[in-house]
Amino acid sequence: MLRLGLILLIVPSLVLMGAYMYEQHLIESCTATGGFYDYALAECNPKTEQPFIPFMVRYPLLVNGGMLLSVLGLLLAIVGLYKPNKRDVV
């Protein structure tokens, strides 16, 4: 249970950070060429400025699902680490 808990604790966070950093790379390369990043279409628009839409608003299932899996992993890791003392056993 400890191994599964640690996997669920770490992997969703890495996937979430990877998705966010990849999108930030796309945004930075778009603005470096003088364009405007269209968050709704996830593409570079060279002419008109686009409104900012937060990452969590665009990908709520990814963000909320990843956080829920991480919390579940934390709980499983805590349960997996718990070892009762011989004095606690009646």
pTM: 0.81
∠ CA 12-15-17, nearest 5°, is: 110
Q: Report angle CA 47, 52, 58 to the nearest 5 degrees.
A: 115
- CB neighbour list of residue 66: distance below 8 Å, 6 or more residues apart: 12, 13, 15, 16
Task: Please give the pLDDT value at position 85.
Answer: 64
pLDDT at 26: 96
pLDDT of amino acid 1: 87
The two three-digit tokens of residue 80, written as one number: 């997996």
Q: How far apart are CA 14 and CA 49, in angstroms?
A: 31
User: What is residue 89's predicted lDDT score, i.e. its pLDDT?
Assistant: 60
Q: Which stretches of the chain drop beneath a pLDDT of 70?
A: 85-90
User: What is the model's pLDDT at position 43?
Assistant: 93
